[in-house]
Each structure stands twice: as C-alpha cells, then as structure tokens.
A and B are shown apart, each in its own frame.
Chain A
Amino acid sequence: MAVTSLFDPSGIAVVGASETPGKIGYEAMRNAIEFDGPVYPVNPSASGTVFDREFVPSVTDVGDDVDLALLCVPAPIVPDVIEECGEAGIGGAVIFAGGFAEAGEDGERLQGRLVEAAIEGDVHVLGPNTSGFLRPADRLYATFATDVDAIPSGNVAIVAQSGGLAYALAFRAENEGRGVSAMVGLGNRATVGFREAVEHFDADERTDAILLHVEGTDDARGLLETCRAAGTPIVAYNVGEQDVGDFAESHTGALTGRYELYEAGFAQYGVPTVRSVAELLDAGTALASCPRPDGPNVGVVTAQAGPGIAIADRLKAAGAELPTLTAETREIVEELLPGMTYSANPVDTGRPMPEFGQIVDAVARDENVDVALVYELYEGAIGYPIDALEGLVAEVDKPIVFATGGPKAVVRNELAEIEALGIPTYRTPERGADAAAALVRYALRNREPEAVAGGDEEVQADD
C-alpha cells in the first residue's frame, strides 16, 4: 500500500515535457494526457503550452493534486529533480533515463545519490532505466512507449524486471484479445522492487493474478517471502537457465546455480514457474480466471483421441494425476456414450456430440476431480456446449479449462462467451494442458501443511 502514489496517483507531472515529437518528453506527455486527472508539463526552459497545457517551471510549482512525476530528463539531473519532488510532496516518480547502476561506477554513484534523495524526500521511485508502467482501466500510461492504449484492461498484473519483457507480455496479451490490470517494468529497482510491486498488486482489487518475470535480485529470499505472503496467485518466468556459473569442483558452492535456486525457491514458496512469455500469460490467465484448485487431479474430456493423448501426456509430465472417475460418473458417461469410446480418464467422445456438455458436466462434478480440462474441435452443426457450462464453474467451485481448434472467425465470438463464464480458453491441446498444469502446480505448491507427507511440518517454526 506504501506505493499508492506511484501506481494509483491522483495527478501527474511530466518533468522534461517537450513539444518535439519522438522525444521521450513528448511521447510521455502524449500518453500522460490520456489520464483522467490533472497532468502538468514541467520544463524550466519551455514556455507556452504542450497538448494545450501550460508549462510550469518546476515540480514545486504544480498543484497539490499531483503525486506522480514522470522524469523525462537526463540522468545527471535526476537526483536533483527527485529532491524537488520530495519538497513538493510528490510521493511517486518514474525514471526513464539509463546510465545508473547498470552503467559502471559513475552510474552506481549517481544511483546512490538518487536513492538518498528518494529516501530523504519519501519518494517511491520506479526505475531508473525503465520504460515505466501502465494501468489501462484508469487510462494511466506512465511510459514513453507508443500505441500503449491498444493494451486492453484485464485482471492480470505484469511485474517484470525488464521493461522490454513487460511490453512483450502486454502486447502478447493484446494480440490474444486479453488485457492487463497493470504492467510494470521495474528496471534498476532504486527503491521500488519486486516486493513493493507484488505487495501493491496483491492488494489491488482489479488484479486476480500476478505475472512475475525475474532475472535476478540481491534479495531473492525477500521476494520469495513476499510471494508466499501474497493472497493473489503468482506465476513466475525465471530466466537465466544456461548461466550455471563456474563448473568448478564438486562442491556445494559450484552446484548452487542461481536459476536452480529460483526454481527450487518458487516451488517451495508456492509459485508455479513457466518457461516462456506465452506460457506465463496462459498460466496467469488460468490462475486469474478460475477458482483455486484443491489438488492435482485432472479430469480430461476430449472429443478427439489424438489431442487427448497429447494432453494426458503433458499433464502427467507436469505432475498432474488423472484419477479414475467415480462409479456414478462412469455410469453417466456410459449411458451417454454407449460402449463405443474410452470412458475412463480421459473420456473420449470420438467427436463433438449433442451430449458433450453433459459429459463435461459429469466429469467436472466428479469428486475425484480437482480440475476439468476439455478439448474439442469445433463442429458447426453442434457448436460449443455453452448452455451446459453456464453456472457450472460456480456450482462445482473448480477450475474448468477449455481448449479447442476451429476457424478463428467462427470460434472467436463463442469462445468469448465461454471466457465470460469464468472458463479460460486456449487454441491448442498443449496450451490447454499447460494452463491446467499451472493450476496443478499451484495446487501442489500451496497444499495445506497437513496434506504434505510426513506430518512433522513446521516444527522448527517454534524453535
């Protein structure tokens, strides 16, 4: 909550605002004026107006209603401007300039001065060396990047170490017809790092899942503890697998690769990890849309055997269980599919059929099933079982994931209806399986302690 003035400001000052298109100070201003609140261009050496707003010479001259400053100024004067922000009572700042800790000793010194000024003035600083953040629902675009208003509003927050990767994710979301509640590139993390961002978006009511991109931090334990404390599901993309460090002697230090520690740590602290931007978004979408899964048992319903096998294969590799269905469910399935298909788990219907929805319903309600995964190729005469799925998620309180294939123009509208029912949809068998696998890993990594084998958990907590 401490960084509210940064991520949920009431007004914005664009420091270094410019009238020259293409300059950061112009692009940031153009984005900023989309915001439904006061926006001031600040530039001591400019006069007149930009985007119909009058220049003010300093942040100390802007009104009380401004609590976020976007710094479009060269690195060397950044610490002074932050100091002025502190004097002006501006509690949040975004620093786009590079040339700080990432750029050698002089840069480190400069970042040191910046951090000092930020702490002294109680300014929460995003960056430096960041492309900023955005909050589409508020039309808040604290960035110099262009075409950002194309990114729709949604319910996942992107917290990325790299601004570039943050945009890669946000635009992937847009391309997929999805949106984000927020997109943040952390950059050099002068004062606002993973912990502050995760805590903020954990408390954000528009955020139902947090997508984390991590290259490395000097406080990995703190990050893990913050993730464990968060109530909002988090999924992480941990990069750097090939950087295994010195393969020296067979000793503990040399074996303790950072990538492996992140993977182990995220598993231990309840965070599923993925291996690509696409998978991160798919997993995050599933976690944000679905009820929390109680366990790793997946009931698969497929209208085609091949995709069903591909799905089952991938689920098992991810640690999912494909439980035997109860006798009651099997009876329902057998009655609907008399003897011609595979009615264990996966249930294979052979092709879409009018009763497909009833079979999904039966499997989703099965007490042995924690997650239902459905695959069917689209058939025009039958369509999707939207009526059968309606209300099912709420009734069973379990995740249902829907994967399909068919002509884009035909399936798009119907899939939007399925998504509106709280069922995430995916266009390949593997993507559906991976999304379900993320739910499974989330369940496995967040089991209640008494469900963990052994039963002598948490003894050292009292030591």
Chain B
Amino acid sequence: MTETDPAGARDPIQAALADGRTALTESEAKGLIADRGLPVPGGETVGSADDAVEAAARLGYPVVVKVASPTIQHKSEWADGAGVAVGLDDAGSVRAAATRIFEAAADRGIDAAALVEEGLDVEAGLEVIVGGARDPSFGPTVLVGLGGITVEVLRDVSRRIAPVSTAEAVEMTCELEASPLFDGYRGAPAVDRTAVAEAIVTVGDLLVEREAVREVEVNPLLARSDGAVALDALVSLEDEP
C-alpha cells in the first residue's frame, strides 16, 4: 500500500540518524507506521512533474501532491501554500502542483521531491490526531483528540502513559468530549473506534520500542466506518540519540 522508497529497504530511523537528521520525511514516517500495520494512503515519491503525472495515473485520481523534504515539517504553510495540493483530479492539475513545488524548492535552494498520494475523501470520516511523545519524567506517552483546529482551541485530548492496550485506547476515545461524534452524529456513519485505538497502540509501541524516537504525530488520522488511515505522519528523533 505504500511506495517503494529507495531508502525503504533500510531502517528509516537508522538512515535519518546516519544523515544527522532529527526528523523522518513524511514517506519515511508513513513507511514506519505502515510496517506496524497502520494503513496509509498509497503514494509515490517523485523527482519531476512528469513523474508526478505518471504516478497519479498509476494511483488513480483524485490525488494529493505534497512537498517532500527532510527540512520541511509544516508542509501546508510552506511557500505560500505550494507545499500541499489536495483534490487533484486530472493530469494538468497534478503537473501544475508538482511544478509549483519544484520551482518553490529551487527558489529556496532546497533539494525537494514531491509525494503523490491517493486522495481520500476526508468528508467521509472524522479527522483525528493521534500523538505520542517521550516525556523526560513519564517516558513514552500517547494522546488522542479530534484533529485540526478543535485540538488547538478546545484541547479536548485524552492521554495515557504508553504502552497501552487496545481496550485502554478505546477508553481514551470515549473520554473525549467529542466522543459522540465517533458514534455518528446527525446521521453520519459511526467511525471504527477500534481502528483509532489500534493507531494509538501503534504510536505508543513505536515510542516504547525505538528509543531514538522523540515524538510521533499522526494528524490527521482519517477515522472511517471501515478503519482508519494516516493521512499525514511526523516522526521526530532525539537530538542526541
């Protein structure tokens, strides 16, 4: 389901550490969690606008095109919004989005690639944040909340010390003020709480097992009635492993 990254054969954490990086690229991060069973959209990392168009044809429209560089963490704010283009449903718009990324990267002297991914319908689910951080006092911890602006404004999140079991993680989703939304508010289909819980478990286990990982953020995780997909993932590493 994920792309075959040239670096994918190696452990991405080891690879990043060897490069002196403190974060994985999005595709590395997604590869890491996909290996642990958390679904991610199909995607390919490409180096040119032509390759982007070909990848989009293979993946099937609509697609998302994002900038891919170890130096860029906040893609949507990068280059006046050039970093992320969603809902692209023909070759022309894919070519335009990819070209914008490569030009903006060249302007900034960055050696960036582009990530072309299956475009999923975010309206058909609930956007959730699943995070994990290594606290100096508590060690690995996890949290879950509704994604996006909700979590910023309302801070409606539930936390646990990792590792957690699936049952505990389901309990976390039930603690959210927003919990009724998971059950299908106003006729929307109920989302798969267990799939969200498994994402929480995965993030917690990753922190427990890999000491070099400082923070993991899956935001948004698209929770649907038939599972949950990590639309974006960020893995940052300890500065001094």
Residue B239 at the A interface, CB < 8 A?
no
Residue B100 at the A interface, CB < 8 A?
no
Stretch among B30-38, B90-98, B132-140, B180-188 lining the A interface? B132-140
Residue A231 at the B interface, CB < 8 A?
no
Min C-beta distance of A42 to chain B, whole Å: 38
Given A252-B217, A253-B215, A256-B143, A456–B137 Cβ distance below 8 Å?
no
Residue B41 at the A interface, CB < 8 A?
no
CB neighbours of B21 from chain A (8 A): none
Given A252-B132, A252-B216, A261-B161, A453–B167 Cβ distance below 8 Å?
yes
Stretch among A96-104, A219-227, A431-439 lining the B interface? A219-227
Residue B105 at the A interface, CB < 8 A?
no
Structural contact, A454 and B159, CB atoms closer than 8 A: no
CB neighbours of B157 from chain A (8 A): 255, 260
Structural contact, B161 and A455, CB atoms closer than 8 A: no
CA distance A221 to B219 in the complex (A): 27
Structural contact, A268 and B160, CB atoms closer than 8 A: yes
Structural contact, A458 and B165, CB atoms closer than 8 A: yes
Min C-beta distance of B154 to chain A, whole Å: 11
Residue A448 at the B interface, CB < 8 A?
no
Q: In chain A, residues 258-302, which have Cβ atoms closer than 8 Å to a Cβ of chain B?
A: 258, 260-261, 264-265, 268-269
Structural contact, B135 and A256, CB atoms closer than 8 A: yes
Q: Mark B191-218, 1 if CB is under 8 A from A, else 0.
A: 0000000000000010000000001110
Structural contact, A264 and B160, CB atoms closer than 8 A: yes
Residue A218 at the B interface, CB < 8 A?
yes
CB neighbours of B129 from chain A (8 A): 250, 252
Min C-beta distance of A254 to chain B, whole Å: 9
CB neighbours of A221 from chain B (8 A): 137-139, 161
CB neighbours of A456 from chain B (8 A): 165-167
Q: Which of B138, B151, B159, B167 contacts A250 (CB 8 A)?
A: B151
Structural contact, B205 and A219, CB atoms closer than 8 A: no
Structural contact, B137 and A255, CB atoms closer than 8 A: no
Main secondary structure of the interface of B (DSSP, over half): strand
- Give the nearest-CB partner of A258 in chain B: B137
Structural contact, B165 and A261, CB atoms closer than 8 A: no
CA distance A255 to B130 in the complex (A): 11
Chain A CB within 10 Å, residue with most, of B135, B159, B167, B170: B159
Residue B141 at the A interface, CB < 8 A?
yes
CA distance A218 to B136 in the complex (A): 7
CB neighbours of B137 from chain A (8 A): 216-221, 258, 261
Residue B155 at the A interface, CB < 8 A?
yes
Structural contact, B167 and A253, CB atoms closer than 8 A: no
CA distance A251 to B168 in the complex (A): 22
Structural contact, B205 and A224, CB atoms closer than 8 A: no
Q: Mark A309-349, 1 if CB is under 8 A from B, else 0.
A: 00000000000000000000000000000000000000000
Min C-beta distance of A330 to chain B, whole Å: 32
Residue B179 at the A interface, CB < 8 A?
no
CA distance A258 to B157 in the complex (A): 14
Structural contact, B159 and A264, CB atoms closer than 8 A: yes
CB neighbours of A457 from chain B (8 A): 165, 167
CB neighbours of A45 from chain B (8 A): none
CA distance A455 to B139 in the complex (A): 26
CB neighbours of A459 from chain B (8 A): 165
Residue A416 at the B interface, CB < 8 A?
no
Residue B119 at the A interface, CB < 8 A?
no
CA distance A220 to B139 in the complex (A): 8
Structural contact, B151 and A454, CB atoms closer than 8 A: no
Residue A242 at the B interface, CB < 8 A?
no
Q: In chain A, residues 167-221, which have Cβ atoms closer than 8 Å to a Cβ of chain B?
A: 216-221
Structural contact, B167 and A251, CB atoms closer than 8 A: no
CA distance A360 to B126 in the complex (A): 49
A→B interface (CB under 8 Å): 216-221, 224, 249-253, 255-256, 258, 260-261, 264-265, 268-269, 452-460
Q: With A221-B138, A253-B133 given, can you name 19 additional A-B contacts, CB distance below 8 Å?
A: A216-B137, A221-B161, A250-B149, A250-B152, A250-B219, A252-B131, A255-B131, A255-B143, A255-B155, A256-B131, A256-B159, A261-B135, A261-B141, A261-B161, A264-B158, A265-B138, A265-B161, A268-B161, A455-B167
B→A interface (CB under 8 Å): 129, 131-133, 135-139, 141, 143, 145, 148-149, 151-152, 155, 157-161, 163, 165-168, 170-171, 205, 215-217, 219, 234
Instruction: Name the 10 nearest CB pairs between A and B, nearest first.
Output: A454-B167, A252-B131, A220-B137, A250-B152, A264-B159, A220-B138, A221-B139, A252-B133, A265-B161, A252-B217
A–B complex contacts, Cβ < 8 Å, 22 sampled: A219-B137, A221-B137, A221-B161, A224-B138, A224-B161, A250-B149, A250-B219, A251-B219, A251-B234, A252-B143, A255-B131, A255-B143, A255-B145, A255-B155, A261-B137, A264-B141, A264-B161, A265-B138, A453-B170, A456-B167, A457-B165, A460-B163
